[in-house]
Structure 1
Amino acid sequence: MDQHHQPRRAGISRRRFLAGASAAAGAAALGGAFPCPALAQAKAINVLTLGEGIFGQPFVDLAPDFTAATGIKVNPITMGYNEAIQKQAAAFAAKSSAYDVVQIDSIYIKGYAKAGHLQALDSLIPKAELADYFSDIPMTFKDMYESEGQTYGLATIGNCQRFVYNEAHLKAVGLGAPQTWDELLAAAQKVVDPAANRFGFVAGTERLAKAFSVWLPIFWANGGALFDDKLHPVFADETGIDALAFLLALVKTMPTGGAAYTEADETKAMATGLGTLNPVAWIPDAILTADAATKPQLASGVSPKGSAVRAPVMGGLGLTVSKYAADAAAAAQYVAWFNSRDVQTARIVPHGGQPCRNSAWTANASAKPWFPAVAESLKVAKVRPQLPEWGEIDNTVGVQLSRAFAGEISPKDALESAQRSVDGIMRDAGYY
């Protein structure tokens, strides 16, 4: 699996998150029981991360550097995304000390924290280091890894949707890069020329991978909300229906078969000059793999603006310390080291990663042609609800969206059906 992109999520039930939560919540606070990270004397720590791509390679490559700097040996435990979340969920439920540092998808952080499975980092990492870190990241990252005023992880690798487009195609019809969703639809419709094998919108609309996250930035950009303050789903409103109708108009400008595009199809369409506008790209592979004629035509930007905001979808997996770690101080030192200015600025990018610090993005702006766009996108990106059930919700809504893409069902019927299903998921999970 290509780990560049925000991976497909497996469903994790709320009950699995909460397994053992009562005992964990009743345990004494551990913050004062450990020395500050600079004094950690662990022989070794076990670190669970992905093994490759932007979310894994830096941790594999830089483990010896961390050991050289701190004297703490690292036992890397690497695996694919779905296996990793299954392993971490099982370890937390069993209160296992198998992992000291755990790389967790940001959408699961609050669930794990509330269930008592993560160490708060505020008393494990020196205040000056945390203050420096928080002053140098998009505020969204702080919110993502915080629960009830405590910090339970650090972002480490930054990623979100970005806008990839073909400048030559737009110039051929007298247009520049669209700045709003309305401009993007107009451009997508104007640029279509089957005789020239040139089409408009491109996205991975396959239901199990990306359908929800294709609709979501349009919905959010126009002021939409997925849930009310009691966690009842409310997205089948006028804003949601209008956003889906708008997306269906975009889908009509896609190449043949676009309504069922996978991420591989999406990438290939942009890389070969078939498509013009991909405002929901997770990965840079279209630019990396583009043919000689197309590569110089491709550029990157920030997701278009709606009636309210720009709202690319935030991704990312951050580093956390397990509540059951054998040496929480050593584990926290590992987390702090990978999020430090020096490592973020000078070491993450050369080893295949993307930084989370603003200063590191600035320092590495010329490293990749898409970096400036990702850095700006991170500043306005929005986070999906951090619910254990999100994987199930994502897939359930995706089923209905894909039916709408294929013309089997109206936008209103698709979203109302999806909302009923999500309401059932939330009720079964015990939210209300």
Structure 2
Amino acid sequence: MIRATVSALALGSALLSVHAVFAQELATKDRIGLADAPKTLVVRLTNDSPNNADPAIADGYRKLFVDFIKKHPDWKLQLQFMSTDIGTEQAKMLEQAKAGNAPDCAAVDSFVLSQFMVNHVLADFTPYFSKDEVADLFPFVRTGILDKDGTIRAWWWDTDLRVLYRNKSIVPDAPQTWDGLKTAALSSVKQGMEGVLFNGGRYEGATFDWLANYWALGGKLVDDSGKPVFGEGENKQKFLKALNYYKDLVASGAAPKRVTTIANYDDLNAAAAAGTTALFIGGNWQYAQLKATLDEADFNNWTFSPIPGPTADHRSTGTGGWTIAAFSKDKGKVEMCANLARDVYMGPANALQQQLPTRKSLFDKYPVFATDANKTFSQALADGQARPGVPIYPEISNQIQIMMGDVLSGTKQPEEALDGAFKATMEAYKRL
């Protein structure tokens, strides 16, 4: 009996050892799948992958990838990872794609997806996603992944949005309008805070977060052909109104002058943790970060609400996120890339990282999205607005960043700064 028990334990240990070795063979630092698998898919990813800096999330991705490759034993994924300089990484990948040297499959930032589309370097994903899956996408996502012919050129799997965070012990009620936010911010200053914070430095986030105010007025950055129009006619007047709103926040002391140096959402978290602010414009993902950073009593003081608009009935929020796209001309590789987008990223990866899904039904499928906070985020996404999918957008953003710094620092008056930004944008547009 003892001998049988020992033998059983030995056999169990041996099997565990075999499984451990097998798992190791399937997952290395830059490969998922057996080294001698006959088919290879070269995949370039962000840190939404086994390369994540958080060990728990990295392990979670590794498991998702191993489970995926077990269903495709003839394949291996050769992994490449981008640096945190996303703008440079995406520009480099576009040039590689135009030269025919891009990876087979890769993460493409949603706000530059259009640049890849107009250069005709993306494979057709249409055969691999059902009409029901496409119909389930939030409207701004569905529009973003389709080219002019209605062809699916990428699968947009996660998204985000911007909200107003506030410390309820300092600001009990959610501001509903621009005037209401200014009043609340000035009240917080009287209570020892530094007012409302937001990204105002040379940073894409500064443009994107502010655009909610312009969009709430019905302003457009480009016309239907992709030509910039924000500096002319009614759009110019709306632009100036939204720009003067931010200028007044700083001039009145409702926002500190240091917003011109804030170019990172982490700086906003740091101010909340230090107890120096009771209001800031940030992303939905920061709610979980605040929970992890603050002690329970302090965190319970924090909540969020929609970004105030010029009136309570006119407001907007910016939405972003990442896509998976294929560059290969090999149909087998394109299908494998689409499978990766569906089986790993569309749902499982959302739940792993608590990154908002782009399909409405997934909020009900995964318990993590059943929280009151995520339900509120889901409702807000119905009115979300993505950056325009046009090649000129990066230059529009660049010019708005420059303009914002000049206006908030007092170097230029709003109309002068806007005219200069629009002129520079149009010159860049003519060179496209």
Cα distance 1:335–1:42, how it changes in 2: closer, same or farther (>3 A)? farther
Where structure 1 has 5 or more consecutive residues not aligned to the other structure, the ranges are 1-40
**Residues 98 and 119, structure 2, Cα contact 8 Å, conserved in 1:** no
Tell me if the contact between 1:145 and 1:153 (Cα under 8 Å) persists in the aligned partners: yes
What CA distance in whole angstroms lies between the structure 2 residues aligned with 1:302 and 1:365?
A: 21
CA apart distance, 1:42: 7.2
Kindly tell me: are residues 230 and 52 of structure 1, through their superposed partners in 2, closer, same or farther at Cα, counting changes over 3 Å? closer
Equivalent residue in structure 2 for 1:400, among 378, 400, 403: 403
Deviation string, structure 1 residues 281-325 (Cα, Å, up to 9, x no partner): 364134432355532111123333445743211111101111435
Cα distance 1:95–1:347, how it changes in 2: closer, same or farther (>3 A)? closer
Q: Which has the higher contact order (CA 8 A, sep 6+)?
A: 1
Q: 2:217 aligns with which of 209, 213, 222?
A: 222
Amino acid paired to 2:378: A
Letter in 2 for 1:314: T
Are the counterparts in 1 of residues 363 and 378 from structure 2 also a CA contact under 8 Å? yes
Q: In the alignment, is residue 105 of structure 1 matched against residue 114 of structure 2?
A: no
User: C-alpha separation between the residues in 2 aligned to 1:316 and 1:103?
Assistant: 10
Q: What is aligned with 1:33?
A: none
The 5 Å alignment of 1:255-270 reads 255=256, 257-263=258-264, 264-270=266-272
Deviates more, 1:201-210 or 1:56-65: 56-65
Instruction: Give 1:151's aligned residue.
Output: 152
1:386 to partner: Cα distance = 1.9
Find out whether 1:314 has 2:319 as its counterpart.
yes
Distance 1:203 1:54 in 2: 32
1:114-172 deviation digits (Å, cap 9, x = unpaired): 3221112112x1xxx4223223321111101111211111111222223322111112x
Q: Which moved more, 1:386-395 or 1:145-154?
A: 386-395
Moved more, 54-63 or 211-220: 54-63
Q: Contact between 1:161 and 1:282, CA under 8 Å: does it hold in 2? A: yes
Using the TM superposition, name which of 329-338 and 135-144 deviates more: 329-338
Contact 2:158 2:321 in 1 (8 A): yes
**1:194-343 maps to which residues of 2 (within 5 A)?**
196-236=191-231, 237-251=236-250, 252-255=253-256, 257-263=258-264, 264-281=266-283, 283-284=285-286, 285-290=289-294, 293-307=297-311, 309-325=314-330, 327-338=333-344, 340=346
**In structure 2, what is the Cα distance between the partners aligned to 1:372 and 1:300?**
13
- Give the match for residue 116 of structure 1: 120
Residue 79 of structure 1 aligns with which residue?
Answer: 82
In 1, the alpha carbon distance for the partners of 2:284 and 2:202 equals 16
2:25 corresponding residue in structure 1: none
**Which residue number in structure 1 is paired with residue 11 of structure 2?**
none
Partner SS for 2:255: coil
Would you say the 8 A contact 1:211–1:402 is kept in 2?
A: no
Q: Once the 2 structures are TM-superposed, how far is the Cα of residue 75 of structure 1 from its aligned partner? A: 1.9
Aligned to 1:69: 71
Q: What SS does the aligned partner of 1:117 have? A: coil
The answer (yes or no) to whether the contact 1:44–1:74 under 8 Å persists in 2 is yes
Aligned counterparts, 1:375-414, within 5 A = 375-414=378-417
User: Aligned pair 1:359/2:361, yes or no?
Assistant: yes
* Deviation per residue, 1:6-57 (Å, 9 max, x gap): xxxxxxxxxxxxxxxxxxxxxxxxxxxxxxxxxxx97231111102489965
DSSP-derived class of the 1:217 partner: helix
Paired residues of 2:50 and 2:61 also in contact (CA < 8 A): no
The structural deviation recorded for 1:110 is: 2.5
Q: How far apart are 1:94 and its partner, in Å?
A: 1.4
Structure-2-length-normalised TM-score: 0.78
Asked if 1:162 is matched to 2:158, the reply is: no
1:66 Cα deviation from its structure 2 partner: 1.0
- Give yes or no for contact 1:273–1:294 (8 Å, CA) kept in 2: no
Once residues 55 and 214 of structure 1 are traced to their aligned partners in structure 2, the CA distance between those partners, rounded to angstroms, is: 28
The total of aligned residue pairs comes to 374
Distance 1:121 1:89 in 2: 18
- Describe the SS at the equivalent of 1:192: helix
Aligned-partner residue type, residue 125 of structure 2: L
Aligned in 2, Cα 1:232/1:153: closer, same or farther, shift over 3 Å?
Answer: closer
The alignment partner of 2:405 has SS state of: helix
Within 1, Cα distance between the matches of 2:381 and 2:62? Answer: 25
| TM-score scaled by length of structure 1 | 0.78
* Alpha-carbon spacing, 1:43–1:54, altered in 2? closer, same or farther (3 Å): closer
1:422 aligns with 2:421: no
Task: Give the distance between the partners of 1:371 and 1:338, measured in 2 at CA.
Answer: 21
CA deviation map 1:343-388 (0-9, x unaligned): x1x5532256443222222334557774334323322111112233
1:131 is aligned to: 131
Aligned residue in 2 for 1:30: none
Please say if residues 49 and 61 of structure 2, whose CA atoms lie closer than 8 Å, have aligned partners that are also in contact. no
Q: Is this contact kept in 2: 1:279–1:303, CA < 8 A? A: yes
- Contact residue 407 and residue 417 of structure 2 kept, 8 A: yes
Letter in 1 for 2:341: V
Among the aligned pairs, what percent are the same residue?
Answer: 21
Map of 1:50 onto structure 2: 46
Distance in 1 separating the partners of 2:316 and 2:50: 22
Residue 245 of structure 1: CA displacement?
0.8
- Letter of the 1:191 partner, please give it: S
Supply the distance in 1 between the matched residues of 2:369 and 2:82 (Cα, whole angstroms): 31
SS state at 1:170 partner: coil
